[in-house]
A and B are shown apart, each in its own frame.
Chain A
C-alpha cells in the first residue's frame, strides 16, 4: 500500500517539472488528524473571543431581568432600548465623553507634533548627537522615577486637576520614537536627501516638504497608538484628578460599573444606584468602546505596520 503510493509519487515527479509541492505532497492519514485538530482549535479561539463581545451586544438590547436570570444566551430577549435611553439621559456620562474626546484629540496632536520631528532628527545618521539622545530615550523604557516623585512634579508644575495632566506628560514615549525613527531610516530613500541637499534645501525644507508628505503611514500608526492610549487612559484620572467634572469617560465608567458592583456585593441590597448600573452597564460598554471598534477594521493594516516597525529594533 505505502509502496504503491511512493511509486506513484515518484513517477509523477519525473514527468512534471518544475516541482510543485501542492500537487505532489500527499497527505498522510496522521496529517488529516492534525488538520482537524488545528481547525477545531482555531474555531475555539474565534468563538472564545467573539462570544463575550456578542454577549455584551445582545445583553445591551435585553431587559436587565432577563440578563440577570441567565435567559440571554445567543439572542436578545425582551428587546428594549431602556439601557441606551438611560445612558443618553445621564449627564455624568456625556460630560465624561466630551472630556475624553477633548483630551484624546489634543493629546494625540501634541504626541504627533513632538514625536515625528524628534524621530526624524534622530534618523539622520550625520547627526552625531543622536546616539546619546537615543540612549537617553531607551533608559526611560526601563527606568522611571516612580509614582510619588512624578506626582510631586505634577504638583509643582501645577497641572494636577487640570486637563493638561492628560495631554502633556505622555507627549513623548521612547517606543513611539523608535518606531517612527525606524520608519524614516528604512522607508525614506537616502537619495531624496542627497537631491534635496544639492538643491540647497535646509533640513526644515527637506522635512516639511519632502519627508512629511511621504510619511502618512507612520503618522497614522503613531496617531492611532496615541489615540487608543488616550481613549482608554484610566490611571491619569484616578491618580492625578480628583475633580469629577474633569474626569474622562473611563473614570466615570469605573465609578458606575465597578465601584457600584463591588459595593453592592457587600451590602447585598439592591440600591437605586445598583438598578441604574444594571440597566446601563451593557449599553455604556458598547457606547464607550464603539469608536475604537468601528475605526479598527479600516485601520488594521496600519496597526500591523506599526508592530513590524517596532520589531525591527526593539
Chain B
C-alpha cells in the first residue's frame, strides 16, 4: 500500500506540472494507470469478456456473408465471394414479399406502439385520486410480464372462429389464418401488452411538470383540453423524440418469437419476415452464408434509419441520442 501511494505521488507531478520535461512514455503511463485502477479492471473484466465473446465474436463472423462456408476451414476460412448472397437475396422471388411484410408489420407496430402510450399517459395523468391512478397503472402494466407463448396462445383461443370471445363476432373467418387481418392482430396485441409499460416514462415526465404552469394556464382561462395540449404535451415532447429515434433503429425488426409463433400455413404469405426467414433458411435449412447475408442487410438498414432519424431530429428539435 505504501509503495502504491508513493509511486502515485511521484507520477502525478511528472505528468502535469512541468511542461519542459518530456511526457512520460506510454508504457509508464499505462503502468501507472494499472497500478491505480487494477481493481476497477478486475470488476469490469467479466462483463468485458462476456461482451467480447457473445457480441463481438459473432460480429467478426459476419464476414461469412461474403464467403463460402467450409466447415473444415472454420468460420472465416472459405473463399471470398463478395456480394453473391446479397444479390441472390435481392433477386429471390420472395424478396419483395418478405420486405413488404417486414416493413408493413413493423411500421404499424412502431407507429401505434408510439402513439398509444402517449395517449394513455395523458389520460392517466388526468386522474386526480392517487389510489385510482395507482390501480389503473398496476392493471395496465400487468400484461407486459406475460410470455410471448402465452400471448399467442391466448390470441389463438380468443380469435378462434365461432367460439372465441372475439372470434365469434367474425363468423367463420379465422382471424389468425387471414393474411389480411394478421397485421392488425399483431399490432393490436402488441399495444395491449406493452402500452401500459411504455407509458411509465411519459408519466414520469408529466409528474415533473411545474404546477404553476397549470395554475397560470387556468388563470388565462384554459380548458381541460387546452391544458393537455399546451402544458402536458410540450412537457413530454423531448421524451417522445428520443424514444422515436431509438425505435427507428429497429424499423426492420419484427420480434422474431411472436411472429414465428403466430405463423401458420394459412397466413404465411403475410407473416414471413426477415427474422423468420433467416431462421428457416439458416438454422433449419443450413444455408449459413445466405442467412448471414440477409441478417447483415437487416442490421445495416436499421442502422441507416437510426442515423437518418437522429440527423433529422438534431436539425429540427435539437434532440439526439449521439
Binding site for B on A (CB under 8 A): 19, 21, 25, 28, 30-31, 34-35, 38, 41-42, 45-46, 48-50, 52-53, 55-56, 67-70, 73, 113-115, 117-122, 124, 126-129, 133, 136-137, 140, 142-153, 156, 168-172, 177, 200, 202-204, 207, 228, 231-232, 234-235, 238-239, 250-251, 253-254, 257-258, 261-262, 265-266, 281, 285, 288-289, 292-293, 296-297, 300, 303-304, 307-308, 311, 314
Contact of B47 among A117, A147, A311 (CB under 8 A): A117
Query: When the two chains form their complex, are residues B242 and A314 in contact, meaning their CB atoms are under 8 A apart?
Result: yes
Residue contact B147 to A234, C-beta cutoff 8 Å: yes
User: Is B153 touching A297 in the complex (CB atoms < 8 A)?
Assistant: no
Number of A-B contacts (CB under 8 A): 265
What sequence of 0s and 1s flags, for each residue 125-160 of chain B, a beta carbon within 8 Å of any chain A beta carbon?
011000000011011111101111110111011100
B47 touches A153 (CB 8 A): no
Q: List residues of chain A with CB within 8 A of the CB of B223.
A: 28, 30-31, 34
Q: B214, B242, B295 — which one has the most chain A CB atoms within 10 A of its CB? A: B295
Proximity bits, B289-316, A CB within 8 Å = 1, else 0 = 0011001101100110010000000000
In the bound complex, residues from chain B placing their C-beta under 8 Å from that of A258 are: 149, 152-153, 156, 261
Q: Is the interface of A mostly helix, strand, loop or mixed?
A: helix
- Chain A: CB-nearest residue to B297: A146
Instruction: State whether A148 touches B47 (Cβ < 8 A).
Output: no
Q: Which residues of B contact A42 (CB under 8 A)?
A: 123-124, 127, 136
Question: Which one, A21, A70, A121, A308, contacts B44 given CB within 8 A?
Answer: A121
Are A146 and B299 in contact, CB atoms less than 8 angstroms apart? yes
Q: Which residues of B contact A25 (CB under 8 A)?
A: 218
Interchain nearest-CB distance for B198 vs A (Å): 9
- Are the C-beta atoms of B145 and A152 separated by less than 8 Å? no
Stretch at the interface among B14-22, B59-67, B94-102: B59-67
Distance (Å) between the CB of B206 and the closest chain A CB? 13
Are A147 and B278 CB-contacts (below 8 A) given A30-B223, A46-B139, A142-B306? yes
Contacts of B26 in A (CB 8 A): none
Contacts A148-B64, A234-B148, A307-B200 hold; do A153 and B57 have CB atoms under 8 A apart? yes
For the complex, give the distance between the alpha carbons of A257 and B64 in Å.
37
Inter-chain CA distance A291–B84, complex, in Å, is 49
Tell me the bound Cα distance from A177 to B47 in angstroms. Answer: 9
Residue of A nearest to B61 (CB): A149
Beta-carbon contact of A34 and B224 below 8 Å: yes
Given A148-B288, A200-B1, A314-B246, does the pair A307, B204 have CB atoms closer than 8 Å? Answer: yes
B113 at the interface (CB under 8 A from A): no
26 intermolecular pairs with C-beta atoms under 8 Å apart: A30-B225, A41-B123, A49-B139, A53-B142, A68-B163, A118-B46, A118-B47, A140-B56, A142-B299, A144-B55, A144-B59, A147-B282, A147-B292, A150-B54, A150-B58, A151-B282, A152-B64, A152-B288, A171-B50, A172-B47, A172-B51, A203-B39, A232-B147, A234-B257, A235-B257, A296-B145
The 10 closest A-B pairs by CB, nearest first: A145-B58, A149-B61, A146-B295, A118-B47, A232-B147, A257-B153, A117-B43, A203-B39, A149-B58, A121-B44
